[in-house]
Amino acid sequence: MTGRLAGFGLPELFAGIIVAALNVYVLTGGADFGGGVWDLFASGPRRDAQRRLIAQTIGPIWEANHVWLVLVVVLTFTTFPAVFATLGTVLHIPLALMLVGIVLRGTAFVFRGYGSRTLEQRRHWGRLFAMASTFTPLLLGIAIGAVASGAAGAAGAVSAASAAPAPDSTTTFLAVYVAPWWSPFPVAVGILALTLFAMVAAVYLAYETHDEGLREDFRWRALAASAAVFVAAFGALIAAHFDAPLMRAGLVGSAWALPFQLVTGAAAITAIGALWRRRYAIARLAAAAQLSLILWGWALAQFPYVVPPQLTIRNSVAPRITLVIVAWALAAGAVLLIPSLLYLRRTFETKRSR
């Protein structure tokens, strides 16, 4: 551990900032996608009210939340250009599909809210919004899983080595552009991401609403999603055993692994317990902590690699001057943005106090 800390500098700080930005994205934008999942599964006597609550909750904030993903992308290509180039190449297919989902989710949502004049149209756009919300997190998780498993990095080395246009044989194409992400571990991570987003969304919605019936609806949904998270996490762990040696080593073998796993598990159990006892503020914090810990567990398990097994933080980082300038920009941006974000949340988060 001390050896690692001794090597901590600006490059590691930026890697951490990118994970932190991704963390905020999954807690906010991820929950917006999760809201869409619950739109898809809206049911029972309060089906329409559930959909309305979801739309009202994410309406004013989803675009600002979405920018965190843009920030992750921009920070990655600025401070780790080789990482962005490698992932853009090898994960072209899942990332392009994810983009289709992002486009459909966002546009269908505003078309439903602002452009629909009949119930029929509203229902069509709502369905598209809900399906795209479900599809997109799967692909985000798959992309992350492909990085974590080391398959994306290995394929990246192949595609970079064949500098001449790769032989167009189908086998090469499948090996470099499909196999890294279409395998058990990435798919398991995709499912895990989907269940986690749905879980935090249900917890937030139970916390946000002041309607007793809706609160019970989302409480049950949150409990069901928590169970699904357990199953998905277990599945990912088994898949890691065969498919993602670095994750297996990091999450099981290393010194910090056990305490980290215990804390994550404790957060999960706290969330469930708080939901059971209808303590929504605690449930919200615990669910957010659980999702964040899983994300950081991935990041720490593959440290100091960004794209294992070839790109480390140090061998893919941009020149120091770029980092210094972006660090100043981040500091200035934070001064500007954090109060703005709090203002946005405060403006629209008055439901409970009224």
Interface residues for other proteins in 292-321 (CB under 8 A)?
Answer: 318-319, 321
Instruction: State both tokens at 68.
Output: 């965190």
Q: Is 17 in the site for other proteins (CB under 8 A)?
A: no
DSSP state at residue 312: E
Q: Applying CB under 8 A, which part among 25-33, 90-98, 216-224, 239-247 lies near other proteins?
A: 90-98
Q: Which is nearer to other proteins, 111 or 296 (CB)?
A: 111
Which pairs from 223-230 meet CB under 8 Å and 24+ separation?
223/272, 223/275, 223/276, 225/195, 225/198, 225/199, 226/199, 226/268, 226/271, 226/272, 226/275, 226/287, 228/195, 228/198, 228/199, 229/192, 229/195, 229/196, 229/199, 229/268, 229/290, 230/268
**Cα separation, 292 vs 19, whole angstroms:** 10
What mask, x for binding other proteins by CB under 8 A, covers residues 145 to 174?
A: --------------x--x--xx-x----x-
Which region among 202-210, 241-249, 290-298, 322-330 touches other proteins (by CB under 8 A)? Answer: 322-330
Q: Is 82 in the site for other proteins (CB under 8 A)?
A: yes
CB of 135 to other proteins, least distance (A): 14
Nearer to other proteins, 281 or 336 (CB): 336
Specify whether the CB–CB gap between 156 and 307 falls below 8 A.
yes
Least distance in angstroms from the C-beta of 53 to other proteins: 9
CB of 265 to other proteins, least distance (A): 34
Compute the least distance from the CB of residue 112 to other proteins, in Å. 8
Cβ closest to other proteins, residue 44 vs residue 115: 115
30 or 106: CB nearest other proteins = 106
Q: Determine, following the binding rule CB under 8 A, whether residue 352 of this chain makes contact with other proteins.
A: no
Separation of alpha carbons 327 and 9, rounded Å:
12
Minimal distance, residue 345 CB to other proteins, in Å: 10
Q: Which stretch binds other proteins (CB under 8 A): 7-15, 108-116, 188-196, 263-271?
A: 108-116
Q: Which position among 17, 24, 41, 88 is part of the footprint of other proteins (CB under 8 A)?
A: 88
The residue type of 3 is: G
Return d(Cα 179, Cα 171) in angstroms, integer. Answer: 10
Q: Can you list the pairs that 20-26 forms with residues at least 24 positions away whose Cβ atoms lie under 8 Å?
A: 21/68, 21/71, 21/72, 21/75, 22/68, 22/72, 22/295, 23/292, 23/295, 23/296, 24/68, 25/65, 25/68, 25/69, 25/71, 25/72, 26/193, 26/196, 26/197, 26/291, 26/292, 26/295
Footprint (CB under 8 A) of other proteins, residues 21-80: 42, 47-48, 51-52, 55-56, 59-61, 63-64, 66-67, 69-71, 73-75, 77-80
Q: How far is the CB of 197 from other proteins (least distance, A)?
A: 18
Identity of the amino acid at 222: A
Least spacing, CB of residue 302 vs other proteins, in Å: 20
Between CA 312 and CA 189 the distance in angstroms is 22
Least Cβ distance, residue 352 to other proteins (angstroms): 15
Residue of 43, 44, 123, 273 interacting with other proteins (CB under 8 A)? 123
The number of residues in the chain equals: 354
Q: Which residues contact 7 (CB under 8 A, 6 or more apart)?
A: 304, 314
Q: Which stretch binds other proteins (CB under 8 A): 12-20, 95-103, 239-247, 275-283?
A: 95-103
Distance CA 231, CA 227 (A): 6
Smallest separation (angstroms) from other proteins to the CB of 42: 8
Instruction: Using the minimum distance from each CB to other proteins, give the nearer residue, 59 or 245.
Output: 59
Whole-number minimum distance, CB 147 to other proteins, in Å? 13
**How many whole angstroms separate alpha carbon 228 and alpha carbon 225?**
5
Nearer to other proteins, 106 or 250 (CB): 106
Number of residues that bind other proteins (CB under 8 A): 79
